[in-house]
């Protein structure tokens, strides 16, 4: 059950030459990546965690330096969505529905799977490389030119992309913009938005505890910080949201909507039904306010108690929108000959429960002779808890790798992450491997020797059905054993593996059909899709 909330109510561009940087997409992405490792920016973010109100103050300063004003954002007719899980899917449903009404839509989300421009969409499509490059340098140059007067400060990666999204949506004159919160809500940089037309909250869970707090109540308070007027999910911590100046409404179950037959969803998984219900309420409320003479009131709304949101009859555009929604990397199935990939970016215990439920429902529809888990998780996630949920799926192999797309350096700036060292990522993989062995009751053995090939550890020597690879491509190539034509492209580099490791793959070579569940991280899923779906690279 979910929560949805309802709100009542250019400067001259710097020339590209002044930056001294070629106006090329990859140059823009590489320059963007420098904001990941800007030492002063990272230190500033750490300091602001102790004083979260400073985050929005800093965001206002960066926005002004970029040539934008907060009141200009009111023209974007924003739908603002937060939550622990399901907020991206909710946004995708909502955007598709309103696009079906003929509106020109903007959609800002995170993280991206393959290319960074996926985060900023116009009419459902990632902004083109040419436009991304053009607008990137407009914003970056303004910030660069003013940094000396502000202690050399530049916005960190996510802040910059948020500012860029505002700028693009204003320049491209969208009719409305759907914004997915990054982390939390109250102090998230997207909360610089003053007047959302409607806001919503999807399911809550324990995540990002060092930033948001270690209880559902604390997290609910943070998420509720975007609210002005609310419609929400039944299981959300209602008592923690009543302190806000807004009215609360509870979304009905999807089955309660007045439609002929059950509503068909373009996204798989039972949990998507509650996200779809929230999307119906968000889009319905936005449409109601859009066609009012004065849709956004400037006067505050007093808390008026909790009421159920109406289970209205969805319009044909809404029904079509729900059925046509696509959101890669979430409950996604790809069949490549004898290998079927099941991809889901679940990265909390609750989202992993939903992933396992979906996998157990969908996998039996595809013949299986061998099953493989490809897993990685990042940050402060409880990997052991997630892995425990996956044990009953009875995989023949558990394969672990970091969120590195390829071990050999290539032009892959979109998926570079400079905030975590390779050593730390590989250590996490080895820890996950050990957790899997313990959960499966396998005897603990001495630490494995990592085989170094070309400077990166390749595969640990262990007498078990668990393996650790240095990158996503090497893991996928070993799992598929040359039987996936997409991965067998002769132009791809094949990383050599010791004969003893290849011998372990006999069950995969002999299996008629192989199932591969890829989960634990959206970054892992994105790296896999880069190799499995070449169209996403264009």
Q: What is the pLDDT of residue 182?
A: 85
Q: What is the pLDDT of residue 65?
A: 97
Percent of the chain with pLDDT over 70: 75
Query: Angle CA(446)–CA(450)–CA(453) in degrees, nearest 5?
Result: 165
Higher pLDDT among residues 523 and 1, named by residue: 523
Q: Is the pLDDT of residue 154 over 50?
A: yes
Are residues 89 and 267 in contact, defined by beta-carbon separation less than 8 angstroms?
A: yes
Residue 156 structure tokens: 């960190």
Q: Is the pLDDT of residue 237 over 60?
A: no
Assign 119 a pLDDT band (cuts: 50, 70, 90).
very high
Compute the mean pLDDT over every residue in the chain, rounded to the nearest whole number.
82
**How many DSSP H helices and E strands does the chain contain?**
17, 18
Assign 43 a pLDDT band (cuts: 50, 70, 90).
low
Tokens 């558990």, residue?
A: 398
196 is in an annotated binding site: no
112 is in an annotated binding site: no
For the four alpha carbons of 477, 482, 488 and 492, in that order, the dihedral sign comes to positive
Q: Is the pLDDT of residue 415 over 80?
A: no
Q: What is the pLDDT of residue 443?
A: 57
Q: Which of 107-121, 165-179, 228-242, 418-432 has the lowest mean pLDDT?
A: 228-242
Q: What is the DSSP letter of 300?
A: -
Q: What is the pLDDT of residue 336?
A: 96
Q: What is the pLDDT of residue 22?
A: 39
Q: What is the pLDDT of residue 260?
A: 80
Are residues 28 and 132 in contact, defined by beta-carbon separation less than 8 angstroms?
A: yes
Assign 444 a pLDDT band (cuts: 50, 70, 90).
low
Q: Which of 135-144, 283-292, 509-518 has the lowest mean pLDDT?
A: 283-292
Phi/psi region, residue 512 (left: phi>0; alpha: psi -120 to 50; beta: rest), is alpha
Report helix, strand or coil for 129.
Answer: helix
Higher pLDDT among residues 122 and 491, named by residue: 122
Assign 27 a pLDDT band (cuts: 50, 70, 90).
very high
344 is in an annotated binding site: yes
Q: What is the pLDDT of residue 248?
A: 73
Are residues 232 and 241 in contact, defined by beta-carbon separation less than 8 angstroms?
A: yes
Q: What is the pLDDT of residue 13?
A: 40
368 is in an annotated binding site: no
Q: Is the pLDDT of residue 525 over 60?
A: yes
- In angstroms, the CA 138 to CA 459 distance is 45
Higher pLDDT among residues 56 and 151, named by residue: 151
Q: Is the pLDDT of residue 2 over 80?
A: no
CB-based burial, 324-336: b 16+ in 10 Å, e otherwise: bbebbbbbbbbeb
Assign 374 a pLDDT band (cuts: 50, 70, 90).
very high
Residue 87 structure tokens: 């907020």
367 is in an annotated binding site: no
- In angstroms, the CA 45 to CA 40 distance is 9
Residue 460 structure tokens: 């640990």
Ordered DSSP codes for 203-272: B--S--HHHH-SSHHHHHHHHGGG-SSEEE-TTS-GGGTTTSSS-EEEPPPGGGS--SSPPP-SS-STTH
Q: What is the pLDDT of residue 411?
A: 52
- In angstroms, the CA 340 to CA 314 distance is 35
């Amino acid at each position: 059950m979910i929560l949805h909330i309802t709100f009542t109510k250019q400067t001259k561009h710097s020339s590209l030459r002044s930056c001294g940087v070629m106006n090329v997409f990859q140059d823009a992405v590489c320059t963007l990546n420098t904001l990941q490792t800007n030492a002063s920016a990272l230190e500033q973010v750490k300091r602001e965690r102790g004083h979260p109100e400073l985050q929005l103050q800093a965001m206002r300063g960066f926005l002004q330096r970029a040539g934008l004003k907060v009141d200009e954002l009111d023209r974007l007719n924003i739908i603002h969505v937060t939550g622990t899980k399901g907020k991206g899917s909710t946004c995708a449903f909502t955007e598709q529905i309103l696009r079906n009404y003929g509106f020109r839509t903007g959609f800002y989300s995170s993280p991206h799977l393959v290319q960074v421009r996926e985060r900023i969409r116009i009419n459902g499509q990632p902004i083109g490389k040419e436009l991304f490059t053009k607008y990137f340098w407009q914003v970056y140059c303004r910030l660069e030119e003013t940094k000396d007067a502000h202690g050399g400060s530049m916005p960190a990666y996510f802040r910059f992309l948020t500012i860029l999204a505002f700028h693009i949506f204003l320049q491209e004159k969208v009719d409305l913009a759907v914004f997915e919160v990054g982390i939390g809500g109250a102090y998230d940089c997207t909360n610089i938005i003053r007047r959302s037309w409607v806001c919503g909250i999807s399911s809550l869970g324990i995540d990002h505890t060092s930033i948001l707090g270690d209880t559902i109540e604390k997290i609910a308070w943070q998420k509720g910080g975007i609210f002005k007027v609310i419609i929400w999910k039944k299981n959300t911590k209602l008592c923690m949201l009543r302190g806000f100046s807004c009215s609360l409404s509870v979304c009905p179950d999807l089955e309660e909507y007045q439609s002929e037959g059950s509503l068909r969803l373009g996204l798989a998984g039972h949990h998507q039904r509650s996200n779809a219900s929230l999307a119906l309420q968000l889009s319905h409320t936005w449409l109601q306010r859009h066609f009012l003479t004065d849709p956004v009131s400037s006067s505050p709304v007093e808390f008026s108690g909790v009421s159920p949101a109406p289970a209205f009859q969805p319009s044909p555009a809404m029904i079509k929108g729900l059925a046509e929604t696509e959101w890669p990397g979430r409950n996604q199935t790809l069949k490549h000959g004898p290998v079927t990939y099941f991809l889901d970016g679940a990265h909390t215990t609750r989202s992993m429960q939903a992933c396992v439920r979906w996998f157990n429902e969908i996998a039996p529809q595809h013949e299986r002779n061998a099953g493989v888990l490809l897993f990685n998780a990042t940050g402060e996630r409880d990997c052991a808890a997630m892995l425990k949920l996956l044990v009953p799926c009875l995989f023949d192999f558990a394969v672990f790798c970091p969120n590195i797309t390829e071990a050999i350096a290539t032009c892959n700036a979109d998926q570079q992450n400079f905030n975590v060292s390779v050593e730390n990522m590989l250590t996490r993989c080895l820890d996950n491997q050990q957790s899997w062995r313990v959960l499966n009751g396998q005897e603990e053995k001495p630490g494995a020797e990592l085989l170094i090939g070309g400077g990166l550890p390749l595969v640990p020597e262990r007498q078990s059905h668990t393996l650790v690879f240095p990158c996503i491509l090497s893991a996928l190539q070993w799992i598929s054993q040359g039987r996936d034509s997409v991965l067998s492209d002769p132009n791809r580099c094949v990383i050599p593996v010791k004969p003893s490791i290849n011998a372990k793959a006999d069950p995969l070579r002999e299996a008629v059909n192989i199932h591969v569940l890829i989960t634990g991280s959206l970054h892992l899923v994105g790296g896999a899709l880069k190799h499995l779906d070449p169209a996403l690279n264009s």
